[in-house]
Amino acid sequence: STATFDADLAAALDNILDPNSAVLFTADAGDLAGELFLVVEADGNGAYQANLDFVIHLENSPGGAPVAPDFLV
C-alpha cells in the first residue's frame, strides 16, 4: 500500500538489490498491485533506503516489464 510503500519495498528487495544497481519491481499486493517501478540503489550500500535511493513509477508501460531493459544506469 502507499502507506507502507517504503518499508514494503525495503523488505521485498532485501538480498536482491546490489550496491549501485537497479532493478525492476512489480508490486504484488495492496493498492499498488500490478504497478511497475524502477528502483535505483544510489547510495552504494546495497539496500533500499527511502530518501537515499530512487524509485521511478513506470506508469502506462506497455506489456509490463521488458525482457531486456533498454536503459543503462
All cell numbers assigned to 64:
509490463
Reading the block at residue 56, the C-alpha cell is: 521511478
- Which pLDDT score, from 0 to 100, does residue 47 have? 94
Is pLDDT of 72 > 80?
A: no
Q: In 1-73, which ranges are continuous DSSP H helix?
A: 5-12
Residue 65: the pLDDT is 54
Q: What is the mean pLDDT of residues 36-57?
A: 94
Average per-residue pLDDT for the chain: 86
State the pLDDT at residue 56: 94
CA 31, 33, 35, 40 dihedral sign is positive
Query: What does pTM read for this prediction?
Result: 0.81
24 sits in which H/E element: strand 22-26
Q: Which residues of 4-15 are buried (b: 16+ CB within 10 A; e: fewer)?
A: ebeebbeebbee
- What is residue 59's predicted lDDT score, i.e. its pLDDT? 83
The mean pLDDT value for 11-20 works out to 92
